[in-house]
Structure 1
Amino acid sequence: MIQRWLARLRPPVEPALSPTDRVSPRDAGLYDAMLDGWFCNETGELLKGFALGAGDTLLDVGCGEGVATLFGVRQGASVIFTDSEHDKVRDLARQVAGHTGAPFLGLVSNSLPLPLADGCANKIVCMEVLEHIHQPEPFMAELVRMGRPGAQYLLSVPAPVGEHLQQGIAPPAYFQSPNHVQIFSAERFAALVEDAGLVIEHRQASGFFWVMGMIFFWASQQAAGRSLEGAVRDRIQAPYPPLMERWASVWQDLLTQPDGLAIKQVLDRFMPKSQVIIARKPDPSARGGA
């Protein structure tokens, strides 16, 4: 499924959906992300301001389904990816091997220190991982250690407003290890990054679509009397609950309206799913040459 998504990525200069299109919640969420500056093939930017190319080594920590890794491979970057789940690393390695003949490395690990050399990458991605970590400060120190001087970082965690709303409907296990054990305010997230020695270049928050989508998912599961233990977003696959399907249809209809993008931006600011930071590791040699 991820390969199909990546094959369809394009910069959303004009509406890519029409009111008659039928899309899944995953596809609607993907298009919503593209409107926020994600997955621009033409510029090679995973997110606007975070470009990948043939000269880069991308380290994707907590790779999950591998969206960032596969995007990097498509841009010609060398890739290293890690996750605590063996199946995810195995499946992603198969996909990467099918896309590139270049060397790559996939590791199953959730321990500190991570079994990688200092300065092994110049592009580091760690998305929706830190909220799972009981001690995020030493984990951030590991991320910084593995970046070269001047390395760029793309980091994301859930926004607090969406997390607090889901605490009222999600199962208790969703906020217990190995799921979410941290809720980061915007101030705490920025401090975590800066205290680790990185310089913040860009911040954004978005994803109202997914906050509502997750709430509708939890409600549908409860109404159907299904067990919710262990359910996280990357495990929500078709067939989707009808309520989620309908929500995707409503959202796609909104985005095709003349003021749809402006409304989306208002809602994203009001109730974002994720907060994102792009940061950079200082390069003392570059400063010395200035």
Structure 2
Amino acid sequence: MRMIWNRFMRRRKPAVQMVRHTVDSRYCGLHDAVLSGWFNNETGELHPNFSIRSADRVLDFGCGAGGATQFCARHRANVTFLDSDEGKITHLNHLLRDSAGSHLGIVNQALPLPLGDACFNRIIAQEVLEHVDEPSAVLAELYRVGEPGALYLLAVPHARSERLQQGIAPDSHFAAPNHQHVFDEAMFTDLVQDSGLEIVSRHDFGFYWAFWMMLYWADFQAEGKQLDAATHDLIAPPYAELLNDWASLWQQLLQLPAGPAIKRRLDALLPKSQIVVARKPLSGSR
């Protein structure tokens, strides 16, 4: 019997040949995002229902590392990017020095924004509103600088992933300058609509990152670290082996025929982010 089994195993071929090597966490996250419709170079959509064209005037509010800004610049849009961190603006200006579209970086920490009324027809605010003291005041300003008919791409962490982290992440992760607001879906909907915007579409995304953050906090705690700065400034390479192991496993799953379908179900079950595409009414009235 053992001889028969050994002969069978030698002849047996795996159904799927998967690449088995260490995968960088950010690379895996980018691949995961593309599978969810982000950064679609063929259609010019930064996100489903949010296209970028060369004639667009884009504001990336709270641009951070600038992934959205860089996508807009590659599509020759005129992009203004704004952040409270001068180092991020300086770095992004350097990255965009040879871009075809015009660009302007602004360091800003206060309202009102140093921008005129109805300046932009595309406005982006990703993972920003949870950090600010008054999200409704920020949205009021973003409403002001959008022209009638402007599209808005708004994203905040999903309450399910936020609550999963509570008790695991340091308490300071849920206080200024970090996530001082946790929005459930109804709260986020009301916030957007109360600003005067009309919701075009909704999308939940990012199981990969929701679980990644749980592993991040587990490693953070095991290493005896202290959260003495903004969380997003501490999450930087090189990443712990545990995190890259998770990235490698997730990447292997995505290579399986059922992988994308499993990803979609897990994104719906435990999303890292909730995304709203909204529009300013053509009348401009609130």
SS in 2 for 1:276: strand
CA positional deviation for 1:231:
5.1
For 2:119, give the aligned amino acid: C
SS in 2 for 1:80: strand
TM-score (norm 1): 0.89
Ranges in structure 2 where 5+ consecutive residues have no aligned partner: 1-16
Aligned 8 A contact 2:77 2:102 in 1: no
1:10 alignment counterpart: none
Determine the C-alpha separation between the residues in 2 that align with 1:152 and 1:138: 18
CA positional deviation for 1:48:
1.4
For 1:173, give the aligned amino acid: S
For 1:107-118, what aligned pairs fall within 5 Å after superposition? 107-118=106-117
Deviation track 1:117-156 (CA, whole Å, cap 9, x = no partner) reads 0011100000000001121111111000000111000000
Deviation track 1:146-168 (CA, whole Å, cap 9, x = no partner) reads 00111000000000011111112
1:20 alignment counterpart: 20
Deviation track 1:253-277 (CA, whole Å, cap 9, x = no partner) reads 1111111111111111111000000
For 1:122, give the aligned amino acid: N
Aligned residues: 268
CA positional deviation for 1:34:
0.6
For 1:215-254, what aligned pairs fall within 5 Å after superposition? 215-230=214-229, 232-233=231-232, 235-254=234-253
The structure that has the greater radius of gyration is: 2
Alignment of 1:206 with 2:205, yes or no, is yes
Alignment of 1:125 with 2:124, yes or no, is yes
Determine the C-alpha separation between the residues in 1 that align with 2:230 and 2:23: 22
CA positional deviation for 1:22:
3.4
Alignment of 1:71 with 2:64, yes or no, is no
Aligned 8 A contact 1:171 1:229 in 2: no
Determine the C-alpha separation between the residues in 1 that align with 2:233 and 2:208: 15
Ranges in structure 1 where 5+ consecutive residues have no aligned partner: 1-16, 286-290
Q: Percent identity?
A: 47
For 1:238, give the aligned amino acid: P
For 1:48-67, what aligned pairs fall within 5 Å after superposition? 48-67=48-67
1:178 alignment counterpart: 177
1:84 alignment counterpart: 84
CA positional deviation for 1:104:
2.1
2:258 alignment counterpart: 259
2:4 alignment counterpart: none
CA positional deviation for 1:53:
1.0
Deviation track 1:170-228 (CA, whole Å, cap 9, x = no partner) reads 11221111111100010110111111111111101110110111111111121112223
Aligned 8 A contact 1:59 1:79 in 2: yes
